[in-house]
């Protein structure tokens, strides 16, 4: 009997290899793909690139993927006749067409973050978001580069004490970031999302361990309109779940409302912002800067306008970029891959999968 062919996709740090090495090589044949091919369902993906992705994946019965790196839309799933099991990470992956998998009878299973039980990556993402806020405000990356290339001070930093943090989205991540920045730096926190009420904001402030308002009667988490948030916030941080409704939530019109001294932070999802609009605003220096961990297309193409060292020069805004590192922690990824290997073995034995997604 031929061994079951397994493809492990998008493991940039090669953390999966020692985990999958535990599988019996007489029963399983594992191939690793460190690079990510263009997404099948992206508007800019050519038919040739789609065919290359299918050619890569078609031989495999089991595919282990990383959350939202390689999407699996219906059209791609239909072109993978050998696929019998799809493994992902996390407990929600909007890049998977679960109804299409279910129609084909292909089981799909996720994996929980055992390093931070119950967090679904929120602890790591919160830490990364706060780090990016501080780095952008204090010019950390620019000053580091200046010293290493023979320079010294190049720009002044900004203080966060008493400034306004605008949270676009007050869910678990928004609350976590707001809690830290309010408690540690005394930032005023204002928030907006399409359905946010002051009553809900008050409940979230209390759940975070704060009083609803301070001694001057100012709300700890103040629900405001989107326009007021953009006009008043010194730091605008995005924390919405990506959906058809939230896609493009920040456009040229919204960016034009922001203070010239403001900084935009996005550790959520790239398509929440209209990419071209943000690039245009930053290239014109319309706001102080942006710190981005997520992008409209990932990995960033080599010819992307984001990939330049000219940010902060000739009137351009300061820009801090990281390659979607919000959830990329060694212990988290190791735990995810251990669970994927466990599910491969359970599936091969006909046992129920752990963390089935449907």
pLDDT digits (tens, 9 = 90+) for 48-62: 999 999 999 999 999
Torsional sign, CA 206, 210, 215, 221: negative
Q: What per-residue confidence (pLDDT) applies to 149?
A: 96
- pLDDT band of residue 189 (cuts 50, 70, 90) is very high
| Burial (0-12, 13-18, 19+ Cβ within 10 Å), 241 | middle
- Residue pair 76/41 in contact by the 8 Å Cβ criterion: yes
Q: What per-residue confidence (pLDDT) applies to 121?
A: 58
- Residue pair 162/186 in contact by the 8 Å Cβ criterion: yes
Query: What six digits make up the tokens of 225?
Result: 């309109």
Q: What is the mean pLDDT of residues 13-23?
A: 96
Of all residues in the chain, the percent with pLDDT exceeding 90 is 93
Q: What is the pLDDT of residues 284-307, one digit of tens each?
A: 999 999 999 999 999 999 999 999
Q: What per-residue confidence (pLDDT) applies to 1?
A: 82
Mean pLDDT across the chain: 95
Q: What is the mean pLDDT of residues 7-22?
A: 96
The yes-or-no verdict on residue 116 having pLDDT over 80 is no
The yes-or-no verdict on residue 120 having pLDDT over 60 is no
- pLDDT band of residue 67 (cuts 50, 70, 90) is confident
- pLDDT band of residue 93 (cuts 50, 70, 90) is confident
Q: What per-residue confidence (pLDDT) applies to 150?
A: 98
Q: What per-residue confidence (pLDDT) applies to 259?
A: 98
- pLDDT band of residue 92 (cuts 50, 70, 90) is confident
Mean pLDDT is lowest, of 18-27, 106-115, 169-178, for 106-115
């Amino acid at each position: 009997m031929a061994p079951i062919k397994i493809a492990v996709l998008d493991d940039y740090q090669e953390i999966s290899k020692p985990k999958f090495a535990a599988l019996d090589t007489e029963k399983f044949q594992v191939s690793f793909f460190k690079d990510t091919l263009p997404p099948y369902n992206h508007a800019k993906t050519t038919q040739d690139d789609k065919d290359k992705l299918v050619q890569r994946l078609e031989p495999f019965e089991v595919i282990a993927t990383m959350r939202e790196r390689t999407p699996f839309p219906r059209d791609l799933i239909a072109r993978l006749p050998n696929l019998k099991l799809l493994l992902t990470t996390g407990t929600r992956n909007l890049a998977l067409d679960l109804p299409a998998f279910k129609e084909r009878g292909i089981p799909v299973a996720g994996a929980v973050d055992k390093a931070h039980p119950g967090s679904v990556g929120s602890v790591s993402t919160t830490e990364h978001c706060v780090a990016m806020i501080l780095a952008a405000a204090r010019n950390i990356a620019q000053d580091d580069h200046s010293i290493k290339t023979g320079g010294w001070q190049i720009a002044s930093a900004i203080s966060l004490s008493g400034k306004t943090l605008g949270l676009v989205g007050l869910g678990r991540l928004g609350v976590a970031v707001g809690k830290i920045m309010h408690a540690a730096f005394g930032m005023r926190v204002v928030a907006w999302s399409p359905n946010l009420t002051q009553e809900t904001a008050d409940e979230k402030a209390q759940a975070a361990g704060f009083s609803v308002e301070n001694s001057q009667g100012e709300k700890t988490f103040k629900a405001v309109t989107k326009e007021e948030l953009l006009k008043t916030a010194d730091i605008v941080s995005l924390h919405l779940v990506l959906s058809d409704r939230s896609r493009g939530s920040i456009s040229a019109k919204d960016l034009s409302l922001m203070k010239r001294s403001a900084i935009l932070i996005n550790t959520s999802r790239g398509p929440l912002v209209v990419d071209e609009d943000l690039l245009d605003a930053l290239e014109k220096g319309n706001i102080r800067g942006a710190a981005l961990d997520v992008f409209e297309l990932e990995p960033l193409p080599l010819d992307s306008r984001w990939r330049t060292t000219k940010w902060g020069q000739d009137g351009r805004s300061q820009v801090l970029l990281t390659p979607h590192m919000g959830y990329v922690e060694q212990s988290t990824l190791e735990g995810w891959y251990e669970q994927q290997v466990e599910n491969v073995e359970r599936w091969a034995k006909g046992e129920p999968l752990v963390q089935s997604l449907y």
